[in-house]
Amino acid sequence: MSKIINNKKMKVLDLFCGCGGFSEGFKREGFDIIAGIDIWDKAIETYKLNNNHLSLFKDLRNYSPEQFYKDYNIKNLKKRKMIFFVQCY
């Protein structure tokens, strides 16, 4: 998978990010993580400590992509990667 498109790093949005394991792996491989989103408060607190990009405590059942773009002035992510992992509590 190409990580560079037109001399820019491929951007990734990490849904259900937990403490950030997937984000860390993608970051190490050269991707640009734009945000991590999770509903688990303790996990997102840890995520924020370990990352310098946007870290959001949000319930994705009630938070649309359009609202995300508007709230954080982020352009449409249609040509970007989104990663997610269903958590096991």
Tokens in use for 9? 């790093």
Residue 31 lies in a domain: yes
Domain that holds residue 21: 4-83
With H, G, I as helix, E, B as strand and everything else as coil, classify residue 50. Answer: helix
Give the sign of the dihedral formed by CA 83, CA 32, CA 79, CA 35.
positive
State how far the Cα of 66 lies from the Cα of 6, in Å rounded to an integer: 25
User: Regarding predicted confidence, which is higher, 2 or 44?
Assistant: 44
Domain count, the chain: 1
Over residues 16-73, the pLDDT tens digits come to 899 999 899 999 999 889 899 999 999 999 999 999 999 999 999 999 888 888 888 8
State how far the Cα of 47 lies from the Cα of 68, in Å rounded to an integer: 18
Residue 89 lies in a domain: no
Which CATH number do you get for residue 44? 3.40.50.150
pLDDT confidence of residue 82: 59
